[in-house]
Structure 1
Amino acid sequence: MSIYFRLTILFLLLPLFVCCQENEAPNNEPDIPVAAYGTAQDLGELSDNEINEASGIAASIHYEDALWVHNDSGNDPLLFLINNQGRTLKTFFIQGIENRDWEDITIGPGPDENKQYIYLGEIGDNLTRYDTKFIYRIAEPITSLDDQSKVDTISNIDVIEFRYPEKTQNAEALMIDPITKDVYIIAKNLDDPSIYRLPHEQISTSQLLTLEETGKLNIESKGLQDLVTGGDISSDGLEVLIKTYGHIYHWKRENTQTTITDLLQSQPDTITYNPEPQGEAITFTPTLDGFYTLSEKRFGIIPHLFFYPRK
């Protein structure tokens, strides 16, 4: 992120901390709680100093109670596997790519029906200067966590290169629908964030792809605190979470005939959010018993892993 953008976020979030001290929501407008989820549980600090700009998080399918985490732009091309107390289990170096501006991560189906895939979004672009962006697809690594080596190397990755249909966009939310296998990206802008789709049947690693703009995200923008910073679709495909700096929005579809775009254009619920220094990461658990959030390290505050349980 640019220095200017980080300073902007600093001035943005200071009022949130004040509101927290007064036990009030930002702007003195209380959030509407979703009955399905309880309040945040603090699971503890991140133990790994290398995870200082945690921009994305995804719950592992293979490793029980474990989460994949990555840093923001300019850091080494590393994936961290942490447990649900914030302790790093293993670090994975991804060979052959750089971390230009990794902003989100998700897990879902891919070319092999017997595997689950990590989708890593090189989708950030604060100055909107890059014409093309990338999604890196990796079969979820399966390795021993009991060996002496704390770092493994991943070399077999798929590179999906894409562009936007009109002007290039900055984005921080990457999701995959497990039912249709379509990939979704939400633009990070103040007014009517655009929803973009990459249909499953068009995903290719050999040609430049063009996203399809399918609609606008239905959230009421209250300023910079509602810039979209992350998102996730549940493993059954029926629920969606969208994270902003100041809120967590939740949608649920009654049947799979409703598209993700149609769902996100309907009125969401608002989950009571525990403000974080610069919270950008969010993910459902595979068992759908709740979801996690995680922040980047800001203002000298060590990030904490939070869990919101389903009631």
Structure 2
Amino acid sequence: MNYFFYLIALSTVLLFSCQPASQQTMVSPVTSTTVTVPVTSTTTAAIAADTLPWVRYTAGDAQSDTSLFAQPRQVGTMIDPSLIESSGLASSRRNPGYLWTEEDSGNPNQIQLLGQDGSIVARFTIDGAANRDWEDMTVGPGPVAGETYIYLADIGDNKLRYPEKIIYRFPEPSITGQTLPYTGLVINAELIRLTLPDGPQNAEAILVDPETKDLFILSKGDRSELYRATYPQSRTQSTLMTRLLIMPFDKVTSAGISPDNQEILIRTYGQLFYYSRRSGESVVDALKRTPRKIPLANEPQGEAVGWATDGSGYYTTSEKPDANPQAIYWYRRK
């Protein structure tokens, strides 16, 4: 009989030892003794995937809502031949009436300041930065109270080969008093290195919570997974992000939180999803509610969305398709 119990206990331990990560503690069902067995990272990822909460809606559940914002109106065209792959868009706070944009992989380590007509009024080189695959940007709060910061997201990874995501954070430059067009240099940009718990993932969208300064990444695939790095993010070592939520969106390309912290946008190539955020509510809890679909222009490769600084509407643009200049669209709040 003792031999029989021994076989059961041994089989149980062997079963759990086939699973991966650091350590897992279990209680033997036979002996009631505590057994510590090794657990590999593969099993940890599998367990996390199984327990990670899906939202309780599908993309098809989102109803179209035209009561909030007007239909798109083209306000500008990026006719500068050097600007061909705009993949992020953010309204400037230090330069009212202007928009920031950046280009993705293979382009210079520069950001551009645009007039709403699409003309480039300034270029800023980010000293020491490499444009591995810049995919999104936003303007928000940072370490110094009252200062506005640009968050430049080097997070694209089509071939799933980069172990870290890179966020460049720096105070927003100003063109006040400069002769236009202006060429400037951003020095001492802070480097925020982020690691995803489930390994390399392609991503093109970020959010910065104006209230908490937490940083979020949304993956790009046939679904979107939400990751968070709480503030303050380390500047000396890579931060392991927390995976929080799975959303049923195909190919998320950009996102944004309104300046008053009450609205969230998530865009794909062909759809734009809108969430209202209750006072004191977390980003995660807001995203758990079924969104609405709001107006979006028929853009060939829609890559960017950005709120106006006063919340009076939002802008979108796309990468340059087939040598045709990119349009900038404006959606006025009704």
TM-score norm. by structure 1 comes to 0.85
Structure 1 Cα separation of the partners of residues 299 and 292 of structure 2: 20
CA contact (8 A) 2:165 2:195 kept: yes
1:251 alignment partner in structure 2: 275
1:99 aligns with 2:122: no
Q: Which amino acid aligns with 2:315?
A: Y
CA contact (8 A) 2:157 2:203 kept: yes
1:122 aligns with 2:154: yes
From 228, 233, 242, the counterpart of 2:266: 242
How far apart are residue 212 of structure 1 and its match?
A: 0.6
Structure 2 Cα separation of the partners of residues 43 and 98 of structure 1: 31
Q: Which amino acid aligns with 1:302?
A: P
1:229 aligns with 2:253: yes
1:208 alignment partner in structure 2: 238
* Structure 1 gap ranges (5+): 1-29
Structure 1 Cα separation of the partners of residues 269 and 218 of structure 2: 14
Q: Map of 1:1-311 to 2, 5 A cutoff?
A: 32-144=64-176, 146-147=178-179, 150-191=182-223, 193-201=224-232, 203-217=233-247, 219=248, 221=249, 226-256=250-280, 258-311=281-334
CA contact (8 A) 2:79 2:325 kept: no
CA contact (8 A) 1:277 1:301 kept: no
Structure 2 Cα separation of the partners of residues 167 and 93 of structure 1: 30
Show structure 1 runs of 4+ deviating over 6 A. none
CA contact (8 A) 2:274 2:294 kept: yes
Structure 2 Cα separation of the partners of residues 265 and 254 of structure 1: 12
CA contact (8 A) 1:104 1:173 kept: yes
CA contact (8 A) 1:89 1:145 kept: no
Q: Which amino acid aligns with 2:317?
A: L
Pairs aligned (count): 274
Bigger Rg over Cα: 2
CA contact (8 A) 1:34 1:269 kept: no
CA contact (8 A) 1:216 1:265 kept: no
Structure 2 Cα separation of the partners of residues 145 and 88 of structure 1: 17
Q: Which amino acid aligns with 2:252?
A: V
How far apart are residue 151 of structure 1 and its match?
A: 1.0
TM-score norm. by structure 2 comes to 0.79
Structure 2 Cα separation of the partners of residues 149 and 237 of structure 1: 33
How far apart are residue 175 of structure 1 and its match?
A: 1.1
How far apart are residue 211 of structure 1 and its match?
A: 0.6
Structure 1 Cα separation of the partners of residues 193 and 134 of structure 2: 14
Q: Which amino acid aligns with 1:196?
A: Y
How far apart are residue 65 of structure 1 and its match?
A: 0.9
* Structure 2 gap ranges (5+): 1-61
How far apart are residue 33 of structure 1 and its match?
A: 2.4
How far apart are residue 40 of structure 1 and its match?
A: 0.3
